[in-house]
Amino acid sequence: MVVKAVRNGLGLVIVFVSWLTNPKPMKRAAAEQADAQAKTEGLALYQRYACPFCVKTRRAIHRLNVNIEIRDIKNTVYRDELIAQGGRVMVPCLRIEEGGEVKWLYESNDIIQFLNARFG
């Protein structure tokens, strides 16, 4: 119980520091921004609000200036979906739906690398 409280407290500190030091969003021409936003179709990030690796991933999304659906697994519907379709409860996890197929990408560095390749 104490460990959970400390972890949650530290997570909130990380979120606050991240908010203070948030990177500037990438600037694009209007047509390029519309194209980038269209490429977010079918992407959803499963995460926990105060998870440091999720914060890192959300910062990359903010820097890339795209709106990706964020699904917090605190919501049991998203948690159950992650377990049933992704196979494990591990966040962050990017759900990528393309061409009728769904892929699940775990690990913050892998997710950021994928996002940079697509939007960077």
Report whether 88 contacts 46 (CB < 8 A): no
Q: At what angle do helices 2-20 and 52-64 cross, to 10 degrees?
A: 20
**pTM of the full predicted structure?**
0.90
Topology (CATH level 3) of domain 2-119: Glutaredoxin (3.40.30)
Mean pLDDT for 93-118 is: 96
Lowest mean pLDDT among 8-17, 39-48, 67-76, 83-92: 8-17
Q: Which residues contact 84 (CB under 8 A, 6 or more apart)?
A: none
Mean pLDDT for 21-26 is: 91
pLDDT at 14 over 90: no
Domain ranges of the chain: 2-119
Which stretch of DSSP H or E encloses residue 16? helix 2-20
